[in-house]
């Protein structure tokens, strides 16, 4: 049934009586769910979030949108926090259950979050996008005010219990979330500095720190840990920040990301309060401890494919010829680049060696693959067929037997469906900006059936 547009915020004259009694007239009207804004959201909920209660969620949002603008559903309401407050106040005034109220708030919040995170709003209307994000934080204030009212009701009557155990903790949670049916409990300790650890523990047991969760509201915080509230709250926030920093770092296991890459990842997350900045993540970054296991991750294979390794530059040296230098710091065990060339068999490599001059022997890298077979990377043939027009870094890195700062590691990865060995070069120690890179080619004077005996550079 098409909705008649109300005049001056009042509904049309035919008000269904049950509606007026239950919610108040204006609060029970809603926009059609076929309107694009709502229809898109429903598709998102059904497909991307697999929400079972999408119909109820959409209904809540449709009613809210109608209240905010009866003419057309739009996101413009994020500019109007006062009317938002009035909406929830009116819901409370008509005697809605607190839980129902909280559900409304949750639905509106989820809808704004969806608009911020899952739509192209940041591109199509950056101004509105920013306001929408700020709006979400203001909604948090409304949440805490609402729950404050809930907790005021139950915290008033207290019973004494001797010990804090998981049952107590569970009951306090139930009490604070309004699920409590039995008489509420009072926490057993006097709030002194001695109990700080216990307070922190209880606080985090009651309000588990998660990546995306919001901290509990002020009233609840105070009712749980009283004078310790600031310490516990600050601790909760710092634990969440550490969790988030660890989460960001785990996304970049092999190479230190740039601040831009980090920011892009953070912006995609649902972290609307207690934010972390890209600058705080960079100094905390270190490569994954199980580096071997992540050497086939998407980001590193993308670099292997493109050969666009950042942080390196080729310079000419009077004595050594070409050298590869760093243009940024590298952490110990960080993957600096790979040794790129054409993968051939050991026998083919040896054949090539016969017709290779001393100065070019460094362009053939012999190694054993994961199955123990002898293999070779031919970096002599230039350009490689896969990167015509690109001088790859690995082959230009000089040999050093004693003062090397890189170590080759072999990893068999799947590229375009084919197994392929990649020789990664990882830092054996922290490497500073503007240092020359080198690794031990593994050849000695006796290598290559004695042919290498005359090579001066093998002793460096
Ligand atoms: Zn290539």
Q: What is the DSSP string of 232-247?
A: HHHHHHHHHHHHHHHH
Residue 62: C-alpha distances to residues 36, 44, 99 (Å): 12, 15, 19
CA distance 206 to 232: 12
CA distance 22 to 63: 14
If 0-12 CB within 10 Å is exposed, 13-18 middle and 19+ buried, where does residue 441 land? buried
CA of 303 to the centre of ligand 1 (A): 11
CA of 390 to the centre of ligand 1 (A): 8
Give the closest residue to 398 by CA, choosing from 311, 317, 452.
317
Q: Are 223 and 187 in contact (CB under 8 A)?
A: no
CA of 379 to the centre of ligand 1 (A): 9
Per-residue pLDDT of the chain (460 residues; tens, 9 = 90+): 444 333 333 333 333 334 433 444 456 678 888 889 999 999 888 887 667 788 888 988 998 998 899 888 999 999 998 888 888 877 776 666 677 778 888 899 999 999 988 888 888 898 999 999 989 888 877 777 765 654 444 333 233 223 344 555 555 555 555 454 443 344 444 444 556 888 888 888 888 888 888 888 888 888 778 888 899 999 999 999 999 999 999 999 999 999 999 999 999 998 989 999 999 999 999 999 999 999 999 889 999 999 999 999 999 988 888 899 999 999 999 999 999 999 999 889 888 888 777 667 678 888 888 888 889 999 887 788 889 888 899 999 988 888 899 999 999 998 888 889 999 999 999 999 999 999 987 755 455 545 544 444 444 4
CA distance 372 to 223: 65
- pLDDT score at 18: 40
Sketch the domain layout of the chain as residue ranges: 1-155, 189-285, 294-459
CA of 307 to the centre of ligand 1 (A): 8
Q: Are 252 and 285 in contact (CB under 8 A)?
A: yes
CA of 397 to the centre of ligand 1 (A): 16
Buried b (16+ CB within 10 A) or exposed e, 96-105: beeeebbbbb
- pLDDT score at 198: 82
CA of 286 to the centre of ligand 1 (A): 29
CA of 304 to the centre of ligand 1 (A): 9
What class has domain 294-459?
A: mainly beta
CA distance 363 to 349: 10
User: Any bridge partners for residue 374, and if so which?
Assistant: 368
CA distance 77 to 85: 11
For Cα atoms 103, 177, 216, give the angle at the middle one, nearest 5 degrees.
95
């Amino acid at each position: 049934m098409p909705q008649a547009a109300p005049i001056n915020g009042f509904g049309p004259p035919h008000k269904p009586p049950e509606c007026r009694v239950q919610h108040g007239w204006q609060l029970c009207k809603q926009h059609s769910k076929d309107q694009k804004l709502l229809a898109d959201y429903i598709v998102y909920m059904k497909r991307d979030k697999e929400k079972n209660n999408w119909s109820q969620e959409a209904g809540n949002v449709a009613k809210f949108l109608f209240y905010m603008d009866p003419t057309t559903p739009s996101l413009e309401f994020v500019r109007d926090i006062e009317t938002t407050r009035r909406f929830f106040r009116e819901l409370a005034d008509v005697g809605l259950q607190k839980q129902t109220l909280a559900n409304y708030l949750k639905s509106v919040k989820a809808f704004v979050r969806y608009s911020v995170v899952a739509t192209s709003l940041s591109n199509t209307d950056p101004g509105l996008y920013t306001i929408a994000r700020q709006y979400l934080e203001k909604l948090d204030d409304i949440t805490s005010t609402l729950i404050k009212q809930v907790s005021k009701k139950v915290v008033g009557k207290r019973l004494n219990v001797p010990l804090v155990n998981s049952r107590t903790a569970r009951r306090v949670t139930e009490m604070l979330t309004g699920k409590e049916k039995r008489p509420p409990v009072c926490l057993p300790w006097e709030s002194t500095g001695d109990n700080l650890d216990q307070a922190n523990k209880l606080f985090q047991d009651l309000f588990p720190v998660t990546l995306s969760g919001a901290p509990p509201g002020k009233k609840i915080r105070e009712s749980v840990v009283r004078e310790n509230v600031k310490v516990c709250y600050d601790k909760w926030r710092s634990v969440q920040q550490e969790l988030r920093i660890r989460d960001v770092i785990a996304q970049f296991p092999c190479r230190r990301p740039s601040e831009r890459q980090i920011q892009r990842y953070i912006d995609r997350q649902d972290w609307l309060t207690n934010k972390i900045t890209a600058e705080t993540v960079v100094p905390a970054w270190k490569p994954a401890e199980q580096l071997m296991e992540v050497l086939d991750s998407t980001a590193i294979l993308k670099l292997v494919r493109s050969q666009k390794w950042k942080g390196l530059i080729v310079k000419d040296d009077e004595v050594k010829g070409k050298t590869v230098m760093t243009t940024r710091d590298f952490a110990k065990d960080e993957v600096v680049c790979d040794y790129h060339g054409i993968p051939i068999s050991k026998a083919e490599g040896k054949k090539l060696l016969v017709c290779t001059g001393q100065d070019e022997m460094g362009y053939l890298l012999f190694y054993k693959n994961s199955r123990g077979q002898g293999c070779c990377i031919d970096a002599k043939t230039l350009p490689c067929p896969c990167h015509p027009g690109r001088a790859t870094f690995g082959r230009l890195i000089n040999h050093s037997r004693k003062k090397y700062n890189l170590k080759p590691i072999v990893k068999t990865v799947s590229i375009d469906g084919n197994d392929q060995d990649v020789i990664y070069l990882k830092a054996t120690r922290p490497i500073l900006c503007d240092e020359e890179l080198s690794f031990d080619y593994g050849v000695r004077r006796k290598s290559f059936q004695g042919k290498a005996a005359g090579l001066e550079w093998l002793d460096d």
